[in-house]
Chain A
Amino acid sequence: MEARGDDAARTLAFAGRIDIAAAARLWTPTMRAARGTQGLTIDLAGVEEVDTAGAVLLLSAAGAAHQGALQGASPAVEKVLDRTGAALKAAPPAPPPPRMNPIAGLGEMVVDVGRNMLGAVAFGGEALVTLLRTLFRPGLLRFSEMLRHLDETGLRAFPLTALLGFLIGVILAYQSAIPLRRFGAEVFVPNLVGISLLRELGPLLAGVVLSGRTGSAFAAELGTMTVNEEVDALKIMGIDPMQMLVLPRMLAATLVMPVLALLMSLAGLAGMTVIMATLGFPWAAVSNQLQQWLAVGDLLGGLFKAAIFGIAIAAIGCRAGLSAGRGPRAVGDAATTAVVGGIVSIVVLDGIFAVLFFRLGI
C-alpha cells in the first residue's frame, strides 16, 4: 500500500493480492491514513485479487474518509467489492446494548425473586398433592424408579459419606482436645464431638453431600429431559411429570437422608474414638461418656432434620431441572441452582430447627 497527498486529498494505491493476511497487516496503516481525510481516492489498478476480508478493508477505508472513492478495480475485484458492500449494507452495526437503569434493574430483580418464590410454593403444593394422591392410590408410585434412585442417591454415596464422616470426627476430636487439655478435660471430647455430630454436623454434612451429588444430578437429568422436550412428551401422553419424575426422587432422597446422616455420625464417632485412643483414652472411657451424655432424642432429632433436608434438596433439584431454559447453558445453570439452593436451604432449615428444638427443649 502506498499513500500520496495530504489530509485534503489523499490517494492510497494498492497492488497484488489483498487476502485475509494482507488485510490484517494493512488494516491499521490504511485506516490511519484514511481517517480524517477530506477526499480519499483508493487506487485499485494494481490489485489482482481480493477476498472478503480485503474487500472489508477497502470499503471500511473509503467509509472512514469524509469522501472516499474506489477506482481502477478489475471486473473480478469489482464483483467482490459489490457483493461485500451489499452484505455490509444488509448487516448494519448493532446498536449498543441499552444501559440498565439501576432502579429498573433492582425492580426486575425483586420481581424475579418474588416470582421464583411463588413458583417454589406452587411446586411444593403440587408435590404435596401428588404425594397425597399416591398415599390413597399406592399403585401410582413407580416403585422400581424409586429403588433406582435409592441405589443412586443412597448406596453409591456410602463410601464418600463414611470417609467424610470419619475425617470430620478426627478433625473435631483433635481441635477440641487442644483447648480442653489446658483444663485437663480431654475426657469430655466424646461429649462435644458426639453431640455436635448427632444433632448438627451429621445431618448438615450429609445434606451437603446429597446436595452436591444428588441435587445436581436430579437437576441435570431433568434439565436435559426438559431441553430435549421429553417432559413435554410426557405431558402430552397424559403422564404427570410430578408423579413419574419428581415423586420417586423426592421419596428416595427423603428415605435415604436419615441413613446417610446416621452413617456420617457413626463414621465421625469412629474417627473420634481413634483419636481418643491415641490420646490414651480406651474405648470403655469413650463409650461411658457417650452413654452418659447422649440421649436418644439427640439422634432422633438429627435424623428427623435429615429427612426434611432430603425433601428440600430433592425438591430444589427437581424444580431447577424442570424449569430449565433453552440452550446448552440451561442444564449447567439448573445444576448450579440445585447445588447452591440445596446448601442454602439446609442451612436455613437448620437454623429454624435450632430455634425450634431450643424452644421445645429437645
Chain B
Amino acid sequence: MNAPAAEPRAAPPADAEAVVRARDVAMRFGSRTLFEKVSFDVRRGEIFVILGGSGCGKSTLLKILIGLYPPVAGTVEVLGENIDDAEGDARRGLLARLGVMWQSGALFGSMTLAENIELALEEHTDLPRPAREALARVKLGLVGLGDAATRLPAEISGGMAKRAGIARAMALDPPILFLDEPSAGLDPITSAGLDALIIDLARSTGTTFVVVTHELQSILAIGDRCIMLDKEAKGMIAEGDPRQLREHSDHPVVRAFFRREVMHG
C-alpha cells in the first residue's frame, strides 16, 4: 500500500456537532476506582485520542463508550442516544453505526478477510451476495489489502491484521470508528503507514475516529484533540490539541509523558 506520510491536518471546526458526549463517567472494579468525573465531547469528523500510561483505564473507557461496560456513574451519549439505555432494535441500530477495531484485531479465525467483512453486511443489510463481495473488496482495497481477500487471519502479519480490523470496522460505513491501540506492537514504518491510513480515511470519508493509544508518535501525527487519563489522579488530567499540550502543558505528568521523562517519587 502506498500510504502517504502522516502529517498533521486541519482539525474540524470547534463548533462541530458532538457525536460522543461523556459526562462524569466513573468506573470501579470492586473497591478500586479506575477513574471518575471523566467528561469530554468528541466532535464530528475529528480524530480524538484517549491517551495515558499503562493501566490508567484507556481501553476500559473505550469499552464504556461503545456500550460494552456500563459505567458506575455518569452518562455516555453516542450519536445523540444514551448507549446504556438503548435496548433491543434501538441498541442494534446504534451499534450498526459504530465500528470498532480491537487491540488484537479480533478477526474471526475460521473466515477469510473478505468473509470477516461480509459477515456484518450479511447481518445488518439486505445486500445480495455479489454486492457484499464487491463491498468487502472495496473495504480491503481502501486499507491496502486488496490482494489478501481470500487469506485467513492466521496467514497475515500483525500490521495486516490491524488494517483488516479497520476494514471490518468500516464494513457498514459507520460515522464513528473506535480504534483500540492501533499501533501497538507494530514496527515504526507499519505504524506510520497505519497513521497515514487513519488520516486519509478521516479526510476522505469524514468519519470520526476515537483512538486509544499511548504511542507518542501516533498521538502527535493523527490527533486533532485528546484527553489524557492518569492512574494516580484516577481521571482526566488534560484535554486539548496534543501538540499544544506537548509544548505548553504545566502538568508534570503530561510534560513527562510527552517528553518521555522518568517520573520520580
Partners in one complex: yes
**A4: interface (CB < 8 Å):** no
| Cross-chain contact A53 with B146 (CB below 8 angstroms) | no
A91 to chain B, nearest CB (A): 3
Chain B contacts of A24 at CB under 8 A? 125-128, 131
- What is the chain A residue whose CB lies nearest that of B135? A56
For B109, give the chain A residue with the smallest CB separation: A328
Q: How many A-B residue pairs have CB under 8 A?
A: 87
Q: State in angstroms the CA–CA spacing of A55 and B134 once bound together.
A: 11
Q: How far is the CB of B78 from chain A (nearest CB, A)?
A: 19
Q: Which of B86-104 contact A (CB under 8 A)?
A: none
Across the interface, A28 reaches (CB within 8 A) one of B110, B128, B172, namely B128
| A90 and B109 form a contact (CB under 8 A) | no
B83 at the interface (CB under 8 A from A): no
Number of interface residues of B (CB under 8 A): 32
B126 near A84: Cβ-Cβ < 8 Å: no
Chain A residues near B154 (CB-CB < 8 A): 325-327
Contact A84 B138 (CB under 8 A): yes
Is the beta-carbon distance between A21 and B134 smaller than 8 angstroms?
no
Query: Would A53 and B153 be within 8 Å (CB), given that A24-B125, A90-B141 are in contact?
Result: no
CB-nearest residue of chain B relative to A83?
A: B204
* Contact A21:B142 (CB < 8 A) given known A53-B173, A93-B133: no
Task: Please give, as numbers and ranges, the residues of chain A lying within 8 Å of B146 by CB-CB distance.
Answer: 87, 90-92
Minimal beta-carbon separation of A220 from chain B (angstroms): 16
CA A83 to CA B137, docked complex, whole Å? 13
The reply to whether A91 and B109 contact each other, CB–CB distance below 8 Å, is no
**B107 to nearest A CB, angstroms?**
10
| Interfacial chain A residues near B140, Cβ < 8 Å | 87, 91
Known contacts A20-B172, A84-B138; is-contact A27 B127 (Cβ 8 Å):
yes
The one of A60, A79, A88, A327 in contact with B109, judged by C-beta atoms closer than 8 angstroms, is: A327
Chain A 301-341, CB-CB to B under 8 Å as 1, else 0, gives: 00000000000000000000000011111000000000000
| B141–A53 touching, CB < 8 Å | no
Residues from 44 to 78 in B contacting A, C-beta threshold 8 Å: none
A91 touches B149 (CB 8 A): yes
In the assembly, what is the distance between CA of A28 and CA of B127, in Å?
A: 9
B147 at interface, CB cutoff 8 A: yes
B-binding residues in A (CB < 8 A): 19-21, 23-25, 27-28, 31, 51-53, 55-57, 60, 79, 83-84, 86-94, 325-329
- 5 A-B pairs with the lowest CB-CB distances in the bound complex, closest first: A91-B146, A87-B141, A327-B154, A91-B141, A90-B146
